[in-house]
Amino acid sequence: MLEQLIDQLFEKNPESYDHRDMETFQEFKAALNSGKARAAEPAPETALGWKVNPWVKRGILAGFRIGKTVDMSPENSRFSFFDKSTYPLRDFSLASSVRIVPGGSSVRDGCFVGISVTCMPPMYINVGAFVDDGTMIDSHALVGSCAQVGKSCHISAAAQIGGVLEPVGAVPVIIEDGVLVGGNCGVYEGTIVKKGAVLGSGTILTRSTPVYDIVHETIHRADGDTPLVIPEGAVVVAGSRPITKGIGKEWNLSLYTPVIVKYRDEKTAGRIQLEDLLR
């Protein structure tokens, strides 16, 4: 029922929005906050293991249309903020069981943040995102709009988990359970990082960058509507490959490429178990 109402709201002329449309949107935003509505959800029966819900993105976009730009500046503050009235900061309480360390973090209304999530300042979680239980979002990290982050992940300092609202049918960035995203990493354009993978510091993953798996002697890349998928338990580091012809070869230039150097084992797990002590 809510999906049908959101589709009707999305198709409606913004000039004709009324109080009933706002009530529909507020119901939708509550579903985002509770995790009942997700831009993508696990679907083991599919090839990727995930199902995209375009109607959720349509609802978020409708929220921008229905809202008005208002002054959101804190009272008696020297800082000024102006944004859509439909997307203020999300309200939390002690009962939310979310650890938000003082220091300037922001979580936009309309996203799910699970219990025992730790937010280190300053980090940002955008509308439509889903951050599951026990995950840590470290300092200067971004979880973009509609990005899906699983349980017990660590999104390290300055890591960027890209967001996407349009096209509405596009797969958002998905970080599955137990993934470690190292500092200064970037995961963009609908990339899926499967369970237990480790991204070494500085690794950048996009649709246009192939990933070389030297363990299995294969190359992972996006193809058409299929996004780049990092296999379960893969340990990915930033690498390079030489240009083999033309002036690039003469100048001894190399191109950036991510490389899977191993798959997660007990030794790898031992190196990152310290994160559990910080939660």
Measured between alpha carbons, how far is 155 from 181 in angstroms, rounded to an integer?
Answer: 5
Residues 62 and 106 in one domain: no
Task: Give the HSE-up count for residue 219: Cα atoms under 13 Å, Cβ half-sphere.
Answer: 8
Angle of CA points 72, 75, 78, to nearest 5°: 85
Q: Answer yes or no: are the C-beta atoms of 82 and 71 closer than 8 Å.
A: yes
Average pLDDT per consecutive 10 residues, the chain (279 residues; last block may be shorter): 95 93 97 98 96 97 96 90 96 97 96 98 98 98 98 98 91 97 97 98 96 98 95 97 95 97 79 53
Measured between alpha carbons, how far is 165 from 154 in angstroms, rounded to an integer?
Answer: 24
Flag whether 75 is in a domain: no
Q: Which helix (H) or strand (E) holds 148?
A: strand 148-149
Residue 248 phi, psi dihedral angles, 5° rounding: -60, -40
Contact residues for 200 (Cβ-Cβ < 8 A; gap 6+):
182, 185, 235, 236, 237, 238
Domain CATH for 198: 2.160.10.10
The residue count for the chain: 279
Flag whether 241 is in a domain: yes
Domain that holds residue 31: 2-68
Residues 122 and 13 in one domain: no
pTM for this entry? 0.94
Residues 127 and 203 in one domain: yes
For the stretch 23-79, pLDDT in tens is 999 999 999 999 999 999 999 999 999 999 999 999 999 999 999 999 999 888 898
Flag whether 84 is in a domain: no
* Residue indicated by tokens 């943040």: 113
Q: Which candidate, 171, 193, 163, places its Cα nearest to that of 180?
A: 193
Angle of CA points 215, 218, 219, to nearest 5°: 120
Measured between alpha carbons, how far is 62 from 16 in angstroms, rounded to an integer?
Answer: 13
Which amino acid type is present at position 82? F
pLDDT of residue 77: 87
Residues 33 and 142 in one domain: no
How many other CB atoms sit within 10 Å of the CB of residue 220?
20
pLDDT of residue 218: 98
